[in-house]
């Protein structure tokens, strides 16, 4: 179960990307 600790930081990045994409799609 070492993947969980490895995916934690990635999840945070994905959340940030999601927010960026949401704001970008709103502008479009």
pLDDT at 5: 58
Cα 17 to chain centroid distance, Å, stands at 5
Task: Compute CA distances 10 → 20, 24, 26, whole Å.
Answer: 15, 21, 24
Please list the pLDDT of the chain residue by residue as tens digits (28 residues). Answer: 556 556 567 778 888 899 989 999 998 7
pLDDT at 6: 60
pLDDT at 3: 60
pLDDT at 13: 83
pLDDT at 23: 93
């Amino acid at each position: 179960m070492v993947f969980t600790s490895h995916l934690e930081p990635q999840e945070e990045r994905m959340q940030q990307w999601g927010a960026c994409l949401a704001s970008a799609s709103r502008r479009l």
